[in-house]
Amino acid sequence: MKKLLIISILLATVIIIVVTVFLLRCDEKISRICFSNYCFNAEIANTPKTREKGLMFRENIEQNEGMLFIFPEEDIYSFWMKDTLISLDIIWLNSNKEIVFISRNNQPCADEPCSFINPETKAKYVLEINAGIAQETKISVGDKMELK
């Protein structure tokens, strides 16, 4: 009987640890993302739920902040500015973390239907940052992103 109690306690402990680790991994995480001349602290959107919400309803983000969308595979990923309250630069990167397309100074969508921003090539990552920062920091197609 004592063995069964010990095994049950150990099993419950393992289950609690596994569930805790899983829940922590689902929370929004922040990574340091750098290009040759500038770094951002980016929230990671790597689940369908976090990718769908994105930066909607945010009233502001700091100049060195953004959101990095990570998709399961390279594809054409269109974005829109529905329910986004701030202007954004949107940067698409391929699986080699190389910028393949930039859409600058995208304005919040005031009237429905909101138009889509369609990249010209496939991407695995998409970075949203404050409008004007890509130009100000001279981020351009061909630059490589480094995750730190």
Per-residue pLDDT tens listing for the chain (148 residues): 777 667 767 666 666 664 444 444 444 588 999 999 899 999 999 999 999 999 999 999 999 999 999 999 999 999 999 999 999 999 999 999 999 999 999 999 988 899 999 999 999 999 999 999 999 999 999 999 998 8
The CA distance from 50 to 70, in Å, is 10
Domain for residue 23, yes or no?
no
54 located within any domain: yes
User: Residue 26's pLDDT is what?
Assistant: 44
Q: Which of 145, 147, 28, 30 minimizes the C-alpha distance to 91?
A: 145
pLDDT in tens, 15-44: 666 444 444 444 458 899 999 989 999 999
Does residue 123 lie within any of the structural domains? yes
pLDDT at residue number 83: 93
Three-state DSSP at 14 gives helix
Domain limits for position 106: 30-147
Assign residue 87 the CATH number of its domain: 2.60.120.1140
> What is the pairing mode between strands 116-117 and 123-130?
unpaired
Give the pLDDT score at 3.
73
Domain total for the chain? 1
Using an 8 Å Cβ cutoff, are 87 and 128 in contact? no
Per the domain annotation, does 19 fall within a domain?
A: no
Residues 139 and 29: their CA atoms lie apart, in Å, by: 24
Residue 24 in domain: no
Query: What pLDDT score does 20 carry?
Result: 45
Structure-token pair, residue 47:
């689940």
Residue 106 within a domain:
yes
User: What pTM does this model have?
Assistant: 0.79
Which residues, listed in sequence order, are joined to residue 31 by a DSSP beta bridge? 42
Work out the burial of residue 130: count CB atoms within 10 Å of its CB; fewer than 13 is exposed, 13-18 middle, 19 or more buried: buried
Does 20 map to a domain? no
- Is 101 contained in some domain? yes
Q: What is the mean pLDDT of the chain?
A: 88
